[in-house]
Amino acid sequence: MEGSHIDIVIFAPLAVILGVLLFWFIQLLIIEFEKYLLSKIRPNHEPLCRFTNFLGILFQSVCHALGYTITKSGISDFYISVNYGRVAPKREKTGIFEWISNAFLFIGPFFLPAVILLIYLFFSQVTFEVVTPSQLLEVKYTFAGQINTFGSSLYSFSSSFFNFFLNIDLFHPGQFGFMLLLIFLGMGMRPSYIGEKKQEKVDMFYDLKNIWSLIRHKPLYIIILFLISYILFYLSLIFNQNWYVALFSILGWLSIIAIVSLVVSTMILLLIKTTDEIPGKIKLLPYLSLPIFYVLMRVIFFYFPIENSNMISLAVMIISTILITCLLLRSKTNKFKSKRDIKSRKKKGETDEG
């Protein structure tokens, strides 16, 4: 164990906490961009936007209900609509129990829905090995050492996860279902608006305001959480097991899953926003190219099998869709320029005659 006593006792436990906060902040930024895209496509895709809002309210309400269940408050009323969600406890509890329930409401949706996908990954039939921090050869209980251990755990998980994700088989019902859940999670991480009569915008500042209110309301509970974290770190140091990093690594894994789901959903929204600029029914061509090219490549590789055929099929599907979309946009731009030139020539001809 190397490093100064101050580093080990005070700063080292903060390393993984800051790491998780960084991943959570990345989630917030991507969610904010996703909501911007939803606002842009809303006039033409109202049903889709309402569906994503419903998913966000559903995840939020389920997390709130879970908070009441854990605190043994019970649930007397559970109401969900496209614009609004309400969860009422059987027994009103105050103090730490109320604070925990609100924490599940405000913070839970960023992590808890990804638990479903994490469970699937652990029980899937694909090769999925995750090296926990306790399996590392050497653990240094300094700030830099904890960051390195936390990073190693995330790297090991990310390698296994992306190996599965990039080689996913969309012909496999279980893996296709995983992809649908991934998209639903990304689309409904947070609602974009709430309220039945007066719709209130839900943005990054709205989430941060609620979390800050949670902290400011009971700062003592935050201090207690930090003390518990430090005690767990010291126990890990004494027994040389590093349970501390293992616990926070799980939150990191959930954040990685959530970030990937958000990126995939954002790509879908970008495709929708881009194709809206293409006039006529030809805008459906990029969507048709997705299944057509994927099925075509899988059929080819069925008769001529090669290594990483699933990954190549996905790559061809995505690249071909991007190229087709760009060609359609370019064609639209050229037609616009041609019409503008014709009008310009006509106007010039009228001026010369005058």
Q: Which of 293, 278, 294 minimizes the C-alpha distance to 333?
A: 278
CA 219 to chain centre: 28
Q: What are the pLDDT digits (tens) for 94-125?
A: 888 888 888 888 888 888 889 988 888 887 75
Task: Kindly report the pTM of this predicted structure.
Answer: 0.84
State which amino acid sits at residue 150: F
DSSP letter at 93?
-
Q: Is residue 285 exposed (0-12), middle (13-18) or buried (19+ Cβ within 10 Å)?
A: middle
Is 199 in a helix, a strand, or coil? coil
Least confident piece of the model among 43-47, 184-188, 307-311, 332-336: 332-336
Q: What are the pLDDT digits (tens) for 262-306?
A: 999 999 999 999 999 888 888 899 999 999 999 999 999 999 999
Q: What are the pLDDT digits (tens) for 220-278?
A: 878 888 888 888 888 888 887 778 888 888 889 999 999 999 999 999 999 999 999 88
**pLDDT of 143 strictly over 90:** no
Q: List beta partners, residue 200.
A: 194
> 111 vs 105, 107, 167, 240, 286, CA distance in Å?
11, 7, 24, 28, 33
Residue owning tokens 């569906």: 51
CA angle 13, 14, 16 (to 5 degrees): 85
